[in-house]
Amino acid sequence: MDNFLEFERPIEELSAKIDELERVSQTQNIDLGNEISKLETRRQKVTQDIFSSLDPWQVTQLARHPMRPYTLDYVGLTFDGFQELHGDRMFADDRSIVAGIGKFDRWNVALIGHQKGRDTREKLRRNFGMPKPEGYRKAQRVMKLAEKFNLPIVTLIDTPGAYPGIDAEERGQSEAIARSLSVMTGLRVPVISAVIGEGGSGGALAIGICDRLIMMEYSTYSVISPEGCASILWKNADKAPEAAAAMKITSADLKRLGLVDEIVQEPLGGAHRNYERAAAHLNASLVRHLEEVSNMTTPELLGKRYERLQSFGEFQSAK
């Protein structure tokens, strides 16, 4: 699980040294345990230093890390008997959105999440995690199914955005997203959403209207990608790091803005360094919030959700 980012260079160098020493001690049968453990302590310290002061652009890169756990990784680690449900019953099965039902902790739940691919073939099959209208319509269908059978819904958000393509526009990308927002607002079952990687604009929000919003520590959520914002406002996509900072897109930023209920701590070095621990942390948080919301009556739940949605935004009344 190497794949180090630019700012992780010092960690990468130390890891290479550790690997080298381990190789030497094995092949030449010399005990280098002391040296190795010293280097490991050093690596731990360096990693902590780097990760304690990440800038928003570095967080963005972590959120997009090619080894980052995706929806199905979390499902594999936290669900029992997950049954994927396919297709929107109208046009196609969009593989950039996974939907299904299964046992999560002590609840039967419905799960909906964006799904990216790991290798080139899988990336194409998952359309880089960018849903088309049929993806959102599948999500709506499964949400209505969950409502019918009184299953709480968990959604995992991880998309660069809704797919910007000719076919997606032809089939009504705007309508699909708008309808998803409308359906989710009215769902009579609890919805918990967690941003596990990239929360890319309307394509993310379309499965993100919820009673509780959780964000993984190194995830982002924004109205447009930093590159998109930079190319419009700075007229230069290279200004993406500046745009990432200006738009306040990290979990910490959103917590400060009062939009996020909980930030889930990631293992040292990011979720991709330890899937099990990342999943355990997410799991614990989801359970906590599910417990809280599943005690509410339906009118209470819908009332609170409406209040939550209406609280979004900041403005003043002129005298």
Partner 1 sequence: MSWFERLIPPKIKVRSALNKRSVPEGLWHKCGACSAVLYGTELERTSQVCPKCGHHMRLSARERFRTLFDEAEFTELATSLQSTDPLRFKDSKRYKERLSDAQKESRESEAVICAHGRVAGSELVAVAFEFKYMGGSMGSVVGERFVRAVDHALQTQTPLVCFIASGGARMQESILSLMQMAKTTAALNKLHEAGLPYISVLTDPTMGGVSASIAMLGDVIIAEPKALVGFAGARVIEQTVRETLPEGFQRAEFLLEHGAIDMIVTRDQMCSVIAGLLKILAPSSGRSIEGELVF
* Binding flags for partner 1, 210-229, as an x/- string (CB under 8 A): -----------xxxx---xx
For partner 1, give the closer residue by CB, 10 or 172. Answer: 172
The SS3 of residue 172 is: coil
245-282 per-residue burial string, b: 16 or more CB within 10 A, e: under 16: bebebbbbbbeeeeebbbbbbbbebbbbbbbeebbebb
CB of 157 to partner 1, least distance (A): 12
According to the binding rule CB under 8 A, does residue 316 interact with partner 1?
A: yes
Interactions with partner 1, residue window 246-305 (CB under 8 A)? 246-249, 254, 257, 259, 305
Cα separation of 16 and 198, whole Å?
A: 29
According to the binding rule CB under 8 A, does residue 120 interact with partner 1?
A: no
Cα separation of 157 and 207, whole Å?
A: 7
CB of 143 to partner 1, least distance (A): 14
CB of 128 to partner 1, least distance (A): 10
Please report, for residues 30, 71, 154, the alpha-carbon distance to residue 74 in angstroms, rounded to integers and kept in the order given: 40, 5, 12
Q: Which stretch binds partner 1 (CB under 8 A): 9-17, 19-27, 103-111, 168-176?
A: 168-176
For partner 1, give the closer residue by CB, 224 or 278. Answer: 224
> What's the distance, CA 132 to chain centroid?
18
Residues linked to residue 212 through DSSP beta bridges, in sequence order: 192
- 110 touches 143 (CB < 8 A): yes
* Binding flags for partner 1, 172-191, as an x/- string (CB under 8 A): xxxx-xxx-xx--xx-----
Residues of this chain that interact with partner 1 (CB under 8 A) are 162-166, 168-175, 177-179, 181-182, 185-186, 201-202, 205-206, 209, 221-224, 228-229, 232-235, 242-243, 246-249, 254, 257, 259, 305-306, 309-310, 312-318
